[in-house]
Structure 1
């Protein structure tokens, strides 16, 4: 029978192999020898942050002469923190050659095993959803790399672009502010400064991604067959000067609510390239790039069928923009040609999508744009919410989405889509009532509010319902 106890086992270990932790002054330790690892200042700062959060829980290995065998980086990080002593384990049974080999092995052996990427993705995704009091960068991964691991492999599928059916009765009213978790959707005019005072309450956003109306008729350009009514504004009825003035007001609102260095992704048809650039210049925005969305398949037309759309990229002056691509350093290989499947082309699934929505922007496209230039918790704004794609994309990657949409019908669409996507209930900010409760209450009072011709245009990212085609001539305020 084995009567060994921890005490008797310890007594059998040769004295040279008994590992005893002792706190030693950093000043008495010798870093000397060759530096096998190259550490940037940023690396040491991350190590220091880890020690500050978790404590110095991995002792330094030293020889009999106080020469550091393993743990030089941790000692340097402790020095950055102003620590005077660090825990050490003295190793005296190794020869000089063994010490040198072990120092290499200690650094190399951990790198022999690769990451199980799917398991790591699940672990980081769960941790990202927790209300932590510290940054996940303490894992050693940058926040951009964490985003790349968690979201980088997701190209999106048709289900995430599904649009819910409209309720029989329009629920939302102009002025309604819907709280969507940490995000918000306001039924209001995107050209009015007061809309953003209510929506953002003084907060500025890191990025604006918006898909305004193109001042191009839906019929004959986007769809055929008469399934969609025209957008009620900027659907081909404006003169060039009127459309430039409209675009300038929109970009002014974007600029006012961006942080310095914040980015504006502005979707626009090629017919209005010069108007868009003129408006951006008048609004005081810097032109940064022109992005081409390759939809993989051509749309309508018999001569050079279009298979792309344009996204202008502007920056608010005053600071550098956030760059989370950095030439692929974080695993995000990005160019200014974005390839995402559109709904143009043939097939029953795409035909059904076109019946619901004439100019769909894939959720993955917007999500990736947000990942390129924001960090977790940053605010993202959309001035023309339409079906709510930007708010949902922001929610999907741990950002906060804010949006305006003047047409109550499409506010309802955005709310319902967010509820289906998240499984949570939206609340009316003014009363705390859920969307369902507001719907029931307004139904009882026979709310006559419907979207009519005097409602400004929703974005191009909307469900265009079959409706009588109307032309509206709207005089723009100076």
Structure 2
């Protein structure tokens, strides 16, 4: 095949009558009216800066849309470049290549957002760029919902044997689903997902440290005290089921304990997940122990399911340190002062910050909503489905509710199923319904 002189000596822009141009009768590229209007507006605003490409007979090779826009504007003449060096077959191939190759390129979302925002700031109508205000708004980072005192409120635990939820119960809460079941079992996971695939996973599985914390009655977490081999097998089963129920590219966040780092990472890798980074939740307090360095952080594994590009909707200023409690705009003057003083203290912890410890009376390892919420906004969009196979106290559900996501939670313990449902009902004012019977979730004492 002949290679043409890169000096482009054959190119010359001339002006011809619009009436002399002939459309190619097998032009496969569509030009709907909305697009022609956009091209016309661009020509009106910026000028006819992109000449139409034609052959020696003035048959259009590239620029059918521009010709249609010129007619719409009532122009008599337009600039063209005559491509006399192409054979008939080459002209046909180039017509396709000119359109198809342009479609293959994507956009750098961060840079595009910056450009559109700058143009918007000076008052330019974004329509002349081919983008709309809706396009621009979709590129902007989702605004972090303000923190509320009620976000992390968890209802009291039900008395033993007094739970509304029973194994096998599936509760519907608007776009959210909660199954009192076992996330190691394929049948339970299939029922929970109801034919859907997860767009994101956030979960806080048992750490296998037999931790009770400051819960009422020292309530333990199910599957939190197993022999090493059994715990690895448990994690493998959970993460394999989650992998099966997740879309390609699905981001994954797993809170875990450094003491059990090996089984967590082994199970994730063997079940097919790509591990990318370890995030660090920096707490504002530590719980006194016999360790030389007091634990003031918890790690979170971040990765995704391979097979497609993983989504990222955050900016590039995110770091691996997640300070979930640090929402300065929501803090009072006294809280800010206490925080500043706490940072001035020098204490031998895993993170050099300190604050008096706060123990959960409802769940021994409960995570703050702000922690989950920030990761959720970085890795999912409104309307996406977030899966949590170890529902715990329902923090993932509340974070999804606040950010307009949907969620599917599995929780094996009927006690915590009741806690999750009550927490959602109190947070939203909504009413959970039993999937099979359609009956509402009502505490026994409320029936009398």
State TM-score, norm by structure 2. Answer: 0.65
Secondary structure in structure 1 of the residue aligned to 2:386: strand
Identify the residue that residue 338 of structure 1 maps to in structure 2: 322
Aligned to 1:366: 372
Deviations 1:151-179 (A, max 9, x none): 2xx46343211112345531111111111
- For the 8 Å contact 1:380–1:399, the answer to whether it is kept is yes
CA distance in 1, matches of 2:289, 2:269: 32
**Map 1:60-209 → 2, pairs under 5 A:** 60=41, 68-70=44-46, 84-85=68-69, 88=73, 111-112=121-122, 138-141=133-136, 143-145=138-140, 148-151=141-144, 154=145, 156-167=147-158, 169-209=162-202
Give ranges in structure 1 of 5+ residues lacking alignment.
Answer: 1-24, 29-47, 63-67, 91-106, 115-135, 445-478
CA displacement 1:355-403 (0-9 Å, x = unmatched):
3333221111111111111122111100111111112211221211111
Contact 1:50 1:138 in 2 (8 A): no
Q: How far is 1:297 from its partner?
A: 2.5
Distance in 2 (alpha carbons) for counterparts of 1:417 and 1:362: 14
SS in 1 for 2:302: strand
Q: Distance in 2 between matches of 1:408 and 1:271?
A: 28
Of the three residues 274, 278, 296, the one matched with 1:307 is: 296
| Structure 1 contact 26–84 (Cα < 8 Å) conserved | no
Matched residues, number: 336
Report how far residue 216 of structure 1 moved. Answer: 0.6
**Shift in CA distance, 417/58, structure 1 to aligned 2, threshold 3 Å:** farther
Counterpart of 2:284 in 1: which secondary structure?
Answer: coil
Whether the 8 Å CA contact 1:171–1:442 is kept in 2: the answer is no
Find 2:412's aligned residue among 406, 409, 413.
406
Q: Note the C-alpha offset of 1:84.
A: 2.8
Describe the shift of the 1:280–1:59 C-alpha distance in structure 2 as closer, same or farther (beyond 3 A).
closer
Q: Is the 8 A contact 2:151 2:398 kept in 1?
A: no
**Structure 2 CA distance, aligned partners of 1:267 and 1:50?**
51
Q: Matches of 1:58 and 1:187 in 2, distance apart?
A: 56
Find the aligned partners of 1:162 and 1:49 in 2 and give their Cα distance.
53
- Alpha-carbon spacing, 1:311–1:85, altered in 2? closer, same or farther (3 Å): same
| Maintained 8 Å contact 2:284/2:355 | no
Change (3 A) 1:354 1:257: same
Q: Distance in 2 between matches of 1:26 and 1:191?
A: 71
Which of 298, 306, 329 matches 1:317? 306
Partner deviation per Cα, 1:334-373 (whole Å, 9 max, x = no partner): 111111239x9766xx64x533333221111111111111
Tell me, yes or no, if the aligned pair for 1:392 and 1:401 is still in contact at 8 Å: no
Aligned equivalent of 2:382, options 376, 379, 398:
376
Counterparts of 1:411 and 1:56 in 2: how far apart (Å)?
A: 55
Deviation of 1:443 (Å): 6.0
| Residue 434 of structure 1, CA deviation | 1.8
Q: Cα 1:372–1:61, aligned 2, differ >3 Å: closer, same or farther?
A: closer
Matched-pair contact (CA < 8 Å) for 1:49–1:138: no
Cα gap change, 1:399 to 1:108, in 2 (>3 Å): closer
The TM-score with structure 1 as length reference comes to 0.61
Counterpart check, 1:210 vs 2:210: no
> Structure 1 residues 419 and 442 mapped into 2: Cα distance closer, same or farther (>3 Å)?
closer
The alpha carbon displacement at 1:108 in A equals 9.1
Give the Å deviation of 1:204: 0.9
Show structure 2 runs of 5+ residues with no match. 1-17, 22-30, 53-62, 76-116, 125-130, 327-352
Corresponding position of 2:399: 393
Deviations 1:65-86 (A, max 9, x none): xxx344879x99xx89899347
**Matched residue SS, 1:323:** coil
Report the alpha carbon displacement of residue 141 of structure 1 after superposing the two structures with TM. Answer: 1.8
2:231 maps to 1:243: yes
TM-superposed deviation, 1:290: 1.0
Distance 2:136 2:366 in 1: 34
1 CA distance for matches of 2:202 and 2:32?
34
Please give the alpha-carbon distance, in whole angstroms, between the structure 1 residues aligned to 2:158 and 2:148: 25
Question: Aligned partners of 2:409, 2:64: CA distance in 1, in Å?
Answer: 43
> Aligned partners of 1:307 and 1:80: how far apart in 2?
64
Note closer, same or farther for the CA distance 1:72–1:435 as it changes in structure 2 (3 Å cut). Answer: farther
